[in-house]
Amino acid sequence: MSASEADKAAPADAAPVTRIGPKETGTVMMTLYQVILGIVILLAWQGASDRLIDSFFVSNPVEVGERLWQWTADGSIFLHLWATVYATLMGFLVGAIGGVVLGIWLGVSPFMGRLLGPYLNALNALPKVALAPLFVLWFGLGVESKIALAAALVLFLVFLNTIAGVREVDQDLIDGARLMRATRTQVIFKVIIPSALSWVFAGLKISVPYALIGAVIGEMIAANRGLGYLVQFSGAQFDTAGVFAVLIVIALLAVALNYSVDVIQSRMQRWRAVGN
């Protein structure tokens, strides 16, 4: 039977055969390898605890899991988690908006860029964590000081990537827009910002963990709730399992935040896929 005859013989309502490509297969296999590696690490950790290393210093996965379950059952972990998430998101938004606006402004204004450049470089060279006591004095012991510290860490990372992206925009695109009598505002919003989006999102993805770091450090310095406070409290109680449990929650939170930025970037840059 020829291929054409086979096609005619096939029922009209036959479902198409879904083929799994090598890319999907590779993704599945990599995920499987990652899961296996994680299991091996947990087993090695459990085996080394109290055999090679005193569990007082490293705890073990069973005790860490029990502590997480205990905090989840009584609901206390959600109170601390929400406090950290709120400070992280607010600090990230404030720092990201400030960094993008500052980067675009100085990127399209060479004079202001040269004028403020040395001062911004000096501020960027400062260790932002050292500003935490000042933020506590300025904003108090509430969530505002944590937001300020997270925003300070995010702002310069986003600013540096944004201004680099603005300066890398193809000058021919800008000249073409001006030839079509585009205003300065139209050039910025229709040409410069879309062209610099990749740089902006690179800065956003880099700064997400730093926003979380700023919030956690602020909570460790002065707070009565939050994951940073919980780390500090567990360490003061010599509760190694509690410290590791909080660190695991912080790591999972960082992964979730990074994934959220990736999703937002893919939706905002669909025009690139269409254009290609």
Judge whether residue 98 has pLDDT over 90. yes
Each residue of 55-80: pLDDT tens digit?
778 888 888 888 999 888 888 889 99
- Please tell me the predicted confidence (pLDDT) of residue 30: 84
Domain spans in the chain, listed from the N-terminal domain onward: 59-275
pTM of the model: 0.78
**According to CATH, what is the number of the domain 59-275?**
1.10.3720.10
Q: 162 with 195: CB under 8 angstroms?
A: no
Count of helices and strands (H, E) across the chain: 14, 0
